[in-house]
Amino acid sequence: MQHGHSSSSRLVYLDWIRVAAFGLLMLYHVGMFYVTWDWHVKSDHAGHALEPLMLLTSPWRLTLLFLVSGAATRFMADKMTAGALAGRRTVRLLVPLIFAMAVIVPPQSYYEVVEAIAYDDGYLAFWGRYLAADPSFCDADGCLEVPTWNHLWFVAYLLVYTLLAALLLAAARGPLLRLGDRLAARLRGIALLFWPILFLAAARLLLLPLFEVSHALVDDWYNHAVSFAAFLFGFLLIKDGRVAAECTRLRWPALALFVTAYAAYAGYAWAWRAEDAVPPEALRTLMRLVYAVDQWTAIVAIIGFGARYLTRDGRLLRTLTEAVFPVYIVHQTIIVVAGHNLKPLGLPAPLEGGLLLAITAAGCWLAYLAVRRVAPLRPLFGLGPAARPAPPAPALDRIAAAE
């Protein structure tokens, strides 16, 4: 394990973790079709059965992704000015976000209003009203706000956090990086577990009752407190190998704490799963602390096991790393469209779910293959220009190499 500041342009284990986390996100969104939690469309087989499995990743998955994104942003920031960082990330994130809100996301909203209010005017008519910000798609629970970013809220938040990091770098690069160095030196042993858990628990206890998670950017203060803190943790600390080394050393205790906290929280959620069930306030407070333990110890264990074992680079990883963003952009739309259109077939739940997974995986991969090969599509899905093939070696060089 490397200590001090890495001279590498990337950490392989972070790429593996990022790929795996986005893979889990895709599975999670397939699962949302089958649980009772609010989502755009629902299977006729939706119920409580999958909810404990969904809780295995829901407390920490996106927090981990913000942490990894912060680390990736740091690698970029160390190679360019703050202004260049802001400009590059704006192009790579804002352009796909606007395109997706206009083209990729609308089918999700269309099938949502088809199921919620039996809308029957057809997709093109809906799309025109969607782009015109029509506020009249309403039912008893409220009105659908359009245009929307739905699952792409992560991209919007990541863009804002990156611009804030660029601003901090422009104003005080030296003090900011020295702060990271001091924190890396102090977050050792129990401190690496205790202080982040305390922060996450305080945010959940103090902010969540006031600011429910909305993904609306302007009023999502609990979510910002957790997500931006994770982004800054990754930005300031992960490139420095000391924190990863501590996570590696603590991986087994962190895993044990995670399993215990998950069992407690999933059991609590299952016991109080009925819509009208209201747990005692003392128990709810305790479970917010348990949630924080679950959230952070999972991340420490993942970084620790990842840094220890996920060290092999290669073409597969580089392909998957490139595919992540296009797949992330399209995956939820494929799930919503396929899920809604599978329902009339009346298939048994295992067959319907298996088909939905297969369609989603195949659709995502085909979309990535199309995006990577069609140059005008690449910037719309967050990819840079395709690498130019190396020019052929002169004949004399090829002969010398053959000899």
The string of pLDDT tens digits covering residues 202-221 is 999 999 999 999 999 999 99
pLDDT band at 9 (very low <50, low <70, confident <90, very high): low
What is the Cα gyration radius of the chain? 23
Angle at 262 between CA 260 and CA 264, to 5 degrees: 70
**pTM summary value:** 0.93
- Residue 93 sits in which domain range? 12-105+149-322
**Cβ 365 vs Cβ 398: under 8 Å:** no
**What is the share, in percent, of the chain residues with pLDDT greater than 90?**
91
52: in domain = yes
Nearest one of 75, 18, 24 to 306, comparing CA atoms: 18
| E strand segments, 169-263 | none
pLDDT band, very low/low/confident/very high, at 3 (cuts 50, 70, 90)? very low
Tell me what pLDDT residue 392 has: 59
Q: Where are the beta strands (DSSP E) in 191-236?
A: none
Query: What confidence tier does 141 reach under pLDDT thresholds 50, 70, 90?
Result: confident
**What is the band of 275 on the pLDDT scale with cuts at 50, 70, 90?**
confident
- Mean pLDDT over residues 277-296, rounded? 97
Tell me which residue of 162, 159, 167, 176 sits closest to 217, measured CA to CA: 159
Q: How confident is the model at residue 240 (pLDDT cuts 50, 70, 90)?
A: confident
Within-domain flag for 129:
no
Report angle CA 24, 28, 32 to the nearest 5 degrees: 175
pLDDT above 70: residue 349: yes
204 within domain boundaries = yes
Which amino acid, 219? D
Q: According to the model, what pLDDT value does residue 353 have?
A: 98
Query: For residue 354, what are its two tokens?
Result: 């298996």
Q: Please, which pLDDT band fits residue 129 given cuts at 50, 70 and 90?
A: very high
227 within domain boundaries: yes
Choose among 49, 25, 16: nearest CA to 35. 49
Structural domain includes residue 291: yes
Residue 174 within a domain: yes
Q: How many domains does the chain have?
A: 1
Residue 24's Cα: distance from chain center in Å?
Answer: 9
* CA atoms of 41 and 39, how far apart (whole Å): 6
Residue 399 pLDDT more than 60?
A: no
Is 149 a residue whose pLDDT tops 60?
yes
Q: Is 392 contained in some domain? A: no
User: The tokens of 40 are what?
Assistant: 């755009």
Q: Tell me the average pLDDT across 332-350.
A: 98
Does the residue 37 lie in any domain?
yes
**Which run of H or of E encompasses 385?**
none
- DSSP conformation class of 345: G
User: How does the average pLDDT of the chain come out, rounded?
Assistant: 94
Reply yes or no on whether the pLDDT at 293 is more than 50: yes
- Is the distance from CB of 96 to CB of 381 less than 8 angstroms? yes
Question: What are the Cα distances from residue 189, in Å, to 13, 46, 186, 250?
Answer: 21, 43, 9, 7
